[in-house]
Amino acid sequence: MANKPFAITLKPGTSLANLTGTWRTARPVYLDRLPPCNNACPAGENIQGWLFHAESGDYELAWRVLVENNPLPAVMGRVCYHPCETACNRGQLDEAVGINSVERFLGDEAIKRGWKFDAPAAASGKKVLVVGAGPSGLSAAYHLARMGHQVEIQEAGPLAGGMMRFGIPKYRLPREVLDAEVQRILDLGVTLKFDTKVASIEQSMKQGGFDAAFLAVGAHIGKRTYIPAGDATKIVDAVSVLRSMEGEDKPMLGRKVVVYGGGNTAIDVARTAKRLGATEAIIVYRRTREKMPAHDFEVEEALQEGVMIKWLSTIKQAGEGEITVEKMALDEKGYPQPTGEFETLAADSVVLALGQDVDLSLLEGVAGLEIKDGTVQVAPNMMTGHPGIFAGGDMVPSERTVTVAIGHGKKAARNIDAWLHGVECQSTPKHEIATFDKLNPWYYSDADKTVRPMLDIIRRQTSFDEVQGGLDETNALFEARRCLSCGNCFECDNCYGVCPDNAVIKLGPGKRFEFNYDYCKGCGLCVAECPCGSIKMVAEDI
């Protein structure tokens, strides 16, 4: 088959004898790929962006880039389950970058140094009601306030934080850290009203003259199950136990405590019981450890502290001072089935940690709302079926974590802002992900992940002191510098150095490079040698 004819247009002063570009079937192009850590973050943080500033030692700028998306970095640095680290490409070389550790360092540094958020935009004249002062509500309030809207949070409880305060024990999240980050949001001009339960969202909006509302009521109602029990048996739910830890009168659980469930809340209650003086804290869970929804590191910490776990077991009956447990066995499909074998355990109290529900009574009579399986159905823009009423966090179908809730608050705020202005929020298309196969990390050296210090076992069993410590500046700087800068050029000059045709042009510090295609013959050596995967070959249209 004959070759397709083509014409060459020369730049003034260019000799045909000096050209190599006419040989190409493909040409290299510079691009930005999406780092897998950024892609995995439910809060939508620009992780690689703030790590870049952290590794250069500019911690305040790193913090300011971080809080563009998440206003609670010191909290998240303690309670986030860091899916970003699971996705981190560095984990395929040695260990993932300790992103969560650096985030906590920046959050703590901001509290210590008194850094404040940038001033809000000019007042928009719009008022937005936020129902609930948990992570989703606080996040939405923060972003809305920075956009110039007047924000009022109405909280049914006496303190801010929602399930961060009433569901996460102090040994994981010190209250002074939570309070400091909440106060920074209020300093933007956000109004927070405590002990203000919204009975009717439409009525509250009308009375307050609000233009829009964001519903962020947390899952504070503990689920229960029927257990045959005598009158003297003490059966309580996990949420009530953890909530009562915020008051002066601590829960009286006794010396032998049984916790029924397998999630993170069950682990938290069992560890709390040990700190309250229980000689035995036993978790009864109907499946195996591999199927336990609680995170493995929390299970391990609980076992270290003396919590016992009875796998493949279920509570059949509770009597005065004891419970009856039936052993389970896995069938051929891996599902637990009763065996008819029973065991008696001493128990002063039984704590049910079987999940939580949301109180949706404030939505009664609101036209257009759809509630399914105990959650409010929302459109992609986070708006319910009723115009102007948005929802997020535990109220909508999603994974119930602090990180997800904070991401919902940000997304809702952006869509509320657009709705108030009569437009649609335009999302920016995502770049392709910088997967590990796109990288050539020739420059990296073995540098294992920095391990955070842990409180000694004795103090962990007898106090509510914070269990996991943070990194100091030296370790945080080291950890930030382990980032591979996946998908985005950091001007290492490798393409410039390996190009055999001098086709790479340096544009100056911070401006990266460009190709002179008159000289590039499309050999692809720059692509192969780029450490971060920010060059790819595209077919020539000839």
What is the percentage of the chain residues whose pLDDT exceeds 90?
78
For the chain, domains (ranges, CATH) are 16-32+489-539 (3.30.70.20), 36-115+444-480 (1.10.1060.10), 127-220+358-420 (3.50.50.60), 222-356 (3.50.50.60)
Q: Assign 45 a pLDDT band (cuts: 50, 70, 90).
A: very high
How far is Cα 421 from Cα 350, in angstroms, rounded to an integer? 52
The tokens describing 48, both together, are 């690689």
Check residue 223 and give its pLDDT: 83
Check residue 1 and give its pLDDT: 41
Phi, psi of 327 (to 5 degrees): -75, 145
Q: Assign 22 a pLDDT band (cuts: 50, 70, 90).
A: low
Phi, psi of 291 (to 5 degrees): -95, -5
The tokens describing 93, both together, are 């070389």
DSSP letter assigned to residue 61: H
Q: What does the pLDDT average to over 78-100?
A: 95
pLDDT one-digit tens code per residue, 307-326: 999 999 999 998 888 999 99
Residue 218 falls in which region: left (phi positive, over 0), alpha (psi -120 to 50) or beta: beta
Measured in residues, the chain has a length of 542
Check pLDDT > 60 for residue 14: no
The tokens describing 34, both together, are 């999406």
Q: What does the pLDDT average to over 508-519?
A: 93
User: What are the C-alpha distances in Å from 184 to residues 131, 149, 450?
Assistant: 19, 17, 29
- In terms of pLDDT, which residue wins out, 23 or 319? 319
pLDDT one-digit tens code per residue, 26-40: 999 999 999 999 999
- In terms of pLDDT, which residue wins out, 426 or 89? 89
Contact between 401 and 294 under an 8 Å Cβ cutoff? The reply is no
3-state helix, strand, coil in the chain (%, to 5): 35, 20, 50
Q: Kind of pairing, strands 349-352 and 322-330?
A: unpaired
The overall pTM is greater than 0.85: yes
How far is Cα 522 from Cα 503, in angstroms, rounded to an integer? 10
Contact between 67 and 117 under an 8 Å Cβ cutoff? The reply is yes
Residue with tokens 């500046």: 473
- In terms of pLDDT, which residue wins out, 46 or 14? 46
Check residue 231 and give its pLDDT: 66
How far is Cα 284 from Cα 261, in angstroms, rounded to an integer? 6
Check pLDDT > 70 for residue 8: no
CA neighbours within 13 Å on the CB side: how many for 457? 8
Q: Could you write out the three-class secondary structure of 443-477?
A: CCCCCCCCCCCECCHHHHHHCCCCCECCCCHHHHH
Q: Kind of pairing, strands 371-372 and 375-376?
A: antiparallel
Contact between 470 and 104 under an 8 Å Cβ cutoff? The reply is yes
The tokens describing 311, both together, are 């796998």
Instruction: Enumerate residues 6+ apart whose C-beta is below 8 A from 73.
Output: 63, 66, 67, 103, 104, 106, 107, 110, 181
Q: How many C-beta neighbours within 10 Å does residue 305 have?
A: 18
How far is Cα 73 from Cα 533, in angstroms, rounded to an integer? 29
CA neighbours within 13 Å on the CB side: how many for 106? 34
| Burial class of 313 by CB neighbour count within 10 A (0 to 12, 13 to 18, 19+) | buried
Q: Assign 12 a pLDDT band (cuts: 50, 70, 90).
A: low
How far is Cα 83 from Cα 256, in angstroms, rounded to an integer? 35
Check pLDDT > 80 for residue 13: no
The tokens describing 257, both together, are 């405590």
pLDDT one-digit tens code per residue, 112-157: 999 999 989 899 999 999 999 999 999 999 999 999 999 999 999 9
Check pLDDT > 80 for residue 230: no
